[in-house]
């Protein structure tokens, strides 16, 4: 699948831009201070320095005007009428106009109304049809270089030979592990269970003994310090409980929604285990390869076991919509540690301790080769362990994988939860984001927890809830503005801590901490730890 943007009128006529994976393209007027990827003639005064961005998430394209004086206009395929847009999804055959420049949009490799794809060698199927796929063998086995490439164990890399049926978009994985690795995991869990002497498993609410059923699937020992359990009686009393099942878990209630999906509290009747289930919203359709690839990439999180990373229990798809089953953390996220008045709810040392522990998990993730790219307070969840709050990073890699397979994350309604934590390079060099992007996002998280505000002058969630207006486009703020030193927000903070925070949120990547480990060491040192 490929998206092609071609300049069909204007000073840059004939230039084209091709995208086979997710990327951002910023267009604007040529200017010494412009960070746009495409700069039109400086004589075209109807174009702003940073006029608009196109977010390409094949096959989806989202165009966003950055508060330009003369606007961005779109003409739908087959229509001559132009309409001014602040934000809009554009499709195959649409045109985009800024000043004297017009671009055409082409999407190659999607199904035509007749049910066939638009380029040679691609899979075709009847319009409206749902493919049936058997993975790992049999007459409908995946072709070499296709789904077969995705069926490698996330632990050892060996092929997974188990046949997994994928029919009508439904399947549940076994963590994408081969038989040998699953057997080794079961053996370790059994050994741990024997060493622990069969520790009692209580109901999370009433304290009743669930030890007998908790290990019905043989996983209780391996999840001893992770999973929470609920007896049948307490599960039945949960407000909003339903009989709907996702991945064998009964949905008890909705916990929240975001740009990518909806999160539920789930309960497994077989074991009494509680879980948080994240299911992708139906706004993005994935073909079978993208669906399998997305779920497998999410499943890799299950191979990264660290006290500061949320544990993945299972993954799969239901009705063609991917889902992920995570440990349930009942104590909210770091976003709850700022009071309704915008003040830090914890002492400075405690806030820094939580960020330092979060950086341990982030460093572990980076060492394994992953960049999160969606670090924010809502994605660092909390669990109380003997009166001490333990932070755990959630959604490891899912944002990146979702974008790569067609998701568009930064609609206007979601900007307050994502863009304010995005560094400059995430906009101008989208595909090449390094761990330093996560360092910046964690630095902004620390800045917010300490001051109740942001390094750039974004309105806070509290101000947005009170009806505050956005005075400047958020993308232009990231591109053009300089972060405020945190001492301007809180003059009472120690100078060493201020210097550490300011370095973490430095606009230019070479001025920032280069690793989570370096940031953590500086943070602890600034506190005298």
What digits encode the pLDDT tens for the residues 486-506? 999 999 999 999 999 999 999
- Beta strand 38-40 pairing with 52-57: unpaired
Same domain, residue pair 290 and 438: no
Is 113 inside any structural domain? no
Same domain, residue pair 385 and 487: yes
pLDDT at 418 over 70: yes
pLDDT at 124 over 60: no
For residue 391, the model assigns a pLDDT of: 96
| pLDDT, tens digit, 9 for 90 and up, residues 174-211 | 566 777 877 777 677 667 666 656 678 999 999 999 98
pLDDT at 409 over 60: no
CB 209 within 8 A of CB 348: no
pTM greater than the 0.85 cutoff? no
Is 118 inside any structural domain? no
Same domain, residue pair 35 and 147: no
Same domain, residue pair 170 and 264: yes
CB 355 within 8 A of CB 445: yes
Same domain, residue pair 215 and 90: no
For 51, phi then psi, to 5°, come to: -80, -55
Same domain, residue pair 153 and 290: yes
For residue 6, the model assigns a pLDDT of: 95
Is 362 inside any structural domain? yes
Please state, rounded to an integer, the average pLDDT across all residues of the chain: 81
For residue 209, the model assigns a pLDDT of: 93
Q: Which residue has the higher pLDDT, 322 or 72?
A: 72
- CATH code assigned at 19: 2.60.200.20
Is 114 inside any structural domain? no
Per-residue DSSP letter, 183: H
| pLDDT, tens digit, 9 for 90 and up, residues 14-61 | 999 998 888 889 999 998 888 899 888 888 889 999 999 998 887 788
Is 303 inside any structural domain? yes
Same domain, residue pair 194 and 310: yes
Q: For the residues 123-146, what does the mean pLDDT come to?
A: 30
Is 117 inside any structural domain? no
Same domain, residue pair 341 and 322: no
For residue 443, the model assigns a pLDDT of: 98
Same domain, residue pair 150 and 284: yes
For residue 183, the model assigns a pLDDT of: 77
Which of these three, 305, 326, 347, is where a domain ends?
326
Q: Determine which of 197-201, 267-271, 413-417 has the lowest per-residue pLDDT on average.
A: 413-417
Is 120 inside any structural domain? no
pLDDT at 343 over 50: yes
pLDDT band at 74 (very low <50, low <70, confident <90, very high): very high
Same domain, residue pair 291 and 315: yes
Same domain, residue pair 155 and 96: no
Question: Considering the chain, what percentage of its residues have pLDDT values greater than 70?
Answer: 79
Which of these three, 74, 108, 142, is where a domain ends?
108
- CATH code assigned at 445: 1.10.510.10
Q: For the residues 237-246, what does the mean pLDDT come to?
A: 83
For residue 314, the model assigns a pLDDT of: 83
Q: Determine which of 28-32, 155-159, 367-371, 404-408 has the lowest per-residue pLDDT on average.
A: 404-408
Q: Which residue has the higher pLDDT, 293 or 105?
A: 105
Q: How far is CA 281 from the centre of its chain?
A: 13
Range of the domain at 97: 2-108
For residue 128, the model assigns a pLDDT of: 30
- CATH code assigned at 253: 3.30.200.20
For residue 150, the model assigns a pLDDT of: 55
Q: For the residues 57-85, what does the mean pLDDT come to?
A: 92
190 sits in which H/E element:
helix 179-196
Nearest-angstrom CA–CA distance, 402 and 290: 10
For residue 118, the model assigns a pLDDT of: 35
DSSP assignment of 326-372: E---TT-BGGGGB-TTS-BSS-HHHHHHHHHHHHHHHHHHHHTT---
Same domain, residue pair 492 and 409: yes
Which of these three, 308, 326, 344, is where a domain ends?
326
Phi-psi region of 516 (alpha: psi -120 to 50; beta: other; left: phi over 0): alpha
Q: For the chain, how many structural domains are there in total?
A: 3
Is 486 inside any structural domain? yes
Distances (CA, A) of 11 to 28, 42, 56, 299, 405: 13, 10, 23, 47, 33
pLDDT band at 461 (very low <50, low <70, confident <90, very high): confident
pLDDT at 362 over 60: yes
Q: Which residue has the higher pLDDT, 48 or 403?
A: 48
For residue 132, the model assigns a pLDDT of: 25
Least Cα distance to 324 among 339, 311, 312 occurs for 312
Least Cα distance to 503 among 520, 519, 491 occurs for 519
């Amino acid at each position: 699948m490929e998206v092609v943007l071609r300049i069909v009128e204007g000073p840059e006529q004939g230039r084209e831009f091709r995208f086979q994976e997710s990327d951002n393209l910023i267009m604007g007027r040529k200017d010494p201070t412009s960070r746009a990827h495409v700069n039109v003639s400086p004589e075209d005064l109807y174009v702003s320095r940073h006029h608009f961005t196109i977010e390409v998430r094949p096959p989806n394209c989202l165009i966003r005007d950055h508060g330009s004086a003369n606007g961005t206009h779109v003409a739908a395929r087959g229509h001559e009428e132009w309409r001014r847009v602040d934000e809009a999804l554009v499709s195959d055959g649409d045109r985009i106009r800024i000043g004297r420049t017009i671009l055409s949009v082409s999407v190659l490799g999607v199904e035509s109304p007749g049910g066939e794809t638009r380029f040679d060698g691609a899979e075709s199927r009847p319009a409206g049809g749902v493919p049936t796929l058997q993975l790992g063998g049999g007459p409908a086995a995946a072709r070499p270089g296709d789904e077969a490439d995705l069926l490698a164990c996330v632990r050892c890399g060996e092929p997974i030979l188990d046949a997994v049926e994928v029919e009508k978009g439904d399947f549940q994985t076994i963590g994408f592990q081969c038989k040998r690795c699953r057997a080794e995991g079961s053996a370790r869990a059994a050994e741990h269970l024997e060493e622990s002497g069969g520790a009692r498993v209580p109901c999370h609410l009433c304290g009743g003994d669930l030890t007998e059923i908790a290990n019905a699937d043989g996983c209780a020992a391996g999840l001893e310090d992770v999973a929470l359990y609920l007896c049948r009686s307490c599960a039945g009393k949960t407000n909003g409980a339903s009989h709907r099942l996702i991945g064998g878990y009964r949905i008890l209630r909705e916990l929240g929604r975001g740009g990518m999906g909806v999160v539920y509290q789930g309960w497994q009747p077989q074991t009494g285990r509680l879980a948080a289930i994240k299911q992708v919203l139906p706004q993005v359709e994935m073909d079978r390869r993208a669906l399998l690839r997305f779920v497998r990439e999410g499943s890799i999180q299950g191979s990264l076991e660290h006290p500061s990373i949320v544990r993945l229990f299972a993954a799969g798809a239901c009705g063609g919509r991917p889902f992920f089953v995570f440990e349930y953390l009942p104590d909210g996220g770091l976003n709850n540690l700022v009071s309704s008045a915008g003040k830090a709810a914890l002492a400075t040392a405690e806030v820094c301790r939580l960020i330092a522990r979060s950086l341990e998990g982030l460093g572990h993730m980076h060492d394994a080769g992953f960049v999160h790219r969606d670090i924010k307070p809502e994605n660092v969840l909390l669990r109380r362990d003997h009166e001490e709050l333990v932070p755990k990073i959630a959604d490891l890699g899912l944002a990146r994988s979702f974008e790569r397979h067609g998701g568009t994350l930064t609609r206007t309604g979601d900007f307050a939860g994502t863009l304010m934590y995005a560094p400059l390079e995430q906009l101008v060099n989208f595909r090449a984001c390094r761990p330093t992007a996560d360092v910046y996002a964690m630095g902004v998280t620390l800045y917010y927890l300490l001051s109740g505000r942001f390094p750039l002058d974004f309105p806070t969630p509290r101000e947005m809830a009170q009806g505050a207006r956005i005075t400047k486009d958020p993308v232009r703020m990231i591109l053009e503005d300089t972060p405020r030193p945190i001492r301007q927000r809180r003059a009472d903070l120690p100078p060493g801590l201020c210097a550490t925070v300011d370095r973490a949120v430095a606009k230019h990547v070479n001025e920032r901490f280069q690793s989570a480990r370096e940031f953590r060491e500086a943070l602890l040192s600034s506190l005298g730890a």
